[in-house]
Structure 1
Amino acid sequence: MRIFYASDVHASNRCFKKFLNAGKFYGSDAIVLGGDITGKAIVPFVEQSGGEVHVTFLGKRQTLTTEEEVRSVEQRVGDTGYYPHRCSADEAQELSADSARLHALFIAKIVERVEQWMALAEERLSGDGAMPCFVNAGNDDPPEIDAVIESAARVEFLEGRVVELPHGLELASCGYANMTPWQCPRDVEEDVLAGRLEAVAAQVRDPAWAIFNFHCPPYDSQIDQGPVLGDDMRMRSTAGGVEMQAVGSTACRAVIERYQPLVGFHGHLHESRGTFKLGRTVCINPGSEYSEGVLRGAIVDINEKKRKLKSTQFISG
């Protein structure tokens, strides 16, 4: 049995399209997308009275003069994981001055993108022999997206549930994470996270034949390295580069050590691609390069007869 797993695509249209294609391309029996599927910011396309459109993207200010140019930059913005928004100069100023209105627009853009993705999944994954597709939210993702995924025709939403993959392999999922400095929508304290992880793990019939799809990796596992931040929330650097530290979840580690599932699917820390073994459990973090439009994933081969993990192969493309 082969499963394709990816995580942290953060609203990159290019990465999500690659994810949908990956199952067939790699000969998988199912595709699983871990959490953090939404983006981080809106990019205003400010329409001027003379017909020009001004946009500042990735630190570069551009003046666009044709509809073709605007659509081209909008596509690049979407492929990079941001949300383009056309507006007048007055609206741009009003949004800048009204944080509540800006947040409401941001949530609307997030929901719209997820709706588009679910429609695309239905289009790409329908028909005979359709690829089973499973998607979860992560700590960055607002709760407004849950109902959108739950109502999708060709995607199964995973949060807080145990679902069955081919050959009876169970997939237990939780997209919440321990607290981060950014206080994201699904950041919770370790004791709260422990309760959520235990609640879903307890639903598993046979942990030895299960995957624990926990967005946050276990603490001190080498796949949970994140940058050290100073008081100004900037990454601290040393002569050897950015200073890193273990930022995973102690609750996640405890649950995995207790139940010992076959495999752990994780994400959250984009720079920490790799595998780590906790007892018999092989924990996997494919990493993320969503902002470059590069999909990082893991091809996970499992011997269903021996009920063992055969191999894990990381891909980037």
Structure 2
Amino acid sequence: MNAVPGYKADVILLCGDLTGKAIVPVVKVKENEWYINPFGKIERFYSREKLEQRLDMLRNQGYYTFEATKEEIAELQQNPKKVDELFANLMKERLDEWLKMVEEKIPKEIKVIVMPGNDDIFEIDEVIKAHEDRIIYPLEKVVYLDDKHPMISCEYVNPTPWDTPREMKEEDLMRKLEKEFRRVDQKEYKYLVCNFHAPPYDTMLDLAPKLDKNLNVVTRLDGSPEMVHVGSKAVRHVLEKYQPRLGLHG
């Protein structure tokens, strides 16, 4: 958001994998004493100010935090469903905070487009839609970036090792992408922007470390990771077939 004035942007896109991946519990021991254990090392705090400074660092790195007693933490450890509910609530709260910040800081004449990615749970879509008086939710519609350039979007990706919420087989993804192209007049394809979260297969955009069956990174003799192409063949096919003006991926 701070970069907007410098780039003189007309449109801002916040697309893909909007949510964090981990929670850092803050355990309250007693009045004015807390500890956290984010990376296997206990950190103790004896003032709220110092604690908040450290938590701000973690939040800026994408972690979620919440305060609880030892007993409450133990209860969560015994109840995975409650952990999932907590995680979902923290994701939604953080995203709502960000979107409120967008509404406050970004001038109204600048278009703001926010789209989830394959890692994002479906519950966050309603959070984005709740801000649609200011923010554009681009899925299953054509969004015009200006008077000339339409944009279609897709948050789904081809299968990954992580079994993320929004992934599907290549043949299903192909059908979904074809449906998106049908939303646009063929005469506009030469101006079309394709906002597809999955990168096209066998390009410089889809290289990732190769994983073994235990999801460990495969390394070369020199210790560097072996890289493989992991993008979508369906995405590549439709881009080659319809020749849009621009693809936005990742």
Compute the TM-score of the two structures, normalised by the length of structure 2.
Answer: 0.94
Match of 2:207 in 1: 225
For residues 1-317 of structure 1, the aligned pairs below 5 Å read: 20-49=1-30, 51-127=32-108, 130-152=109-131, 153-205=133-185, 206-240=188-222, 241-267=224-250
Compared with structure 1, are the counterparts of its residues 238 and 163 closer, same or farther at alpha carbon in structure 2 (3 Å cutoff)? same
Q: Distance in 1 between matches of 2:167 and 2:8?
A: 35
Q: Structure 1 residue 168: deviation in Å?
A: 2.2
Q: Distance in 2 between matches of 1:174 and 1:199?
A: 10
Contact 1:190 1:251 in 2 (8 A): yes
The amino acid of 2:6's aligned partner reads F
Compared with structure 1, are the counterparts of its residues 125 and 104 closer, same or farther at alpha carbon in structure 2 (3 Å cutoff)? same
Q: Structure 1 residue 250: deviation in Å?
A: 0.7
Q: Structure 1 residue 126: deviation in Å?
A: 4.0
Q: Structure 1 residue 22: deviation in Å?
A: 2.4
For the residue of structure 2 that corresponds to 1:188, the secondary structure is: coil
Q: Which 5+ residue runs of structure 1 have no aligned equivalent?
A: 1-19, 268-317
The amino acid of 2:242's aligned partner reads Y
Runs of 4+ in 1 over 4 A off after TM superposition: none
Q: Distance in 2 between matches of 1:60 and 1:160?
A: 45
Q: Structure 1 residue 71: deviation in Å?
A: 0.8
Q: Structure 1 residue 32: deviation in Å?
A: 1.3
The amino acid of 2:71's aligned partner reads D
For the residue of structure 2 that corresponds to 1:172, the secondary structure is: strand
Q: Structure 1 residue 50: deviation in Å?
A: 5.7
Q: Distance in 2 between matches of 1:81 and 1:261?
A: 33
Contact 1:160 1:196 in 2 (8 A): no
Equivalent pairs counted in the alignment come to 246
Q: Distance in 1 between matches of 2:189 and 2:24?
A: 44
Match of 1:312 in 2: none
Aligned-pair Cα RMSD in Å: 1.3
Q: Structure 1 residue 120: deviation in Å?
A: 0.6
The amino acid of 2:225's aligned partner reads V
Contact 2:32 2:48 in 1 (8 A): no
Offset from partner CA, 1:65-107 (integer Å, 9 cap, x none) = 1100111111111100010111111111111221111001000
Structure number with bigger Rg: 2
Compute the TM-score of the two structures, normalised by the length of structure 1.
Answer: 0.75
Offset from partner CA, 1:8-51 (integer Å, 9 cap, x none) = xxxxxxxxxxxx23232211221112211111011101111364
Range that drifts further, 65-74 or 146-155 = 146-155
The amino acid of 2:239's aligned partner reads I
The amino acid of 1:227's aligned partner reads P
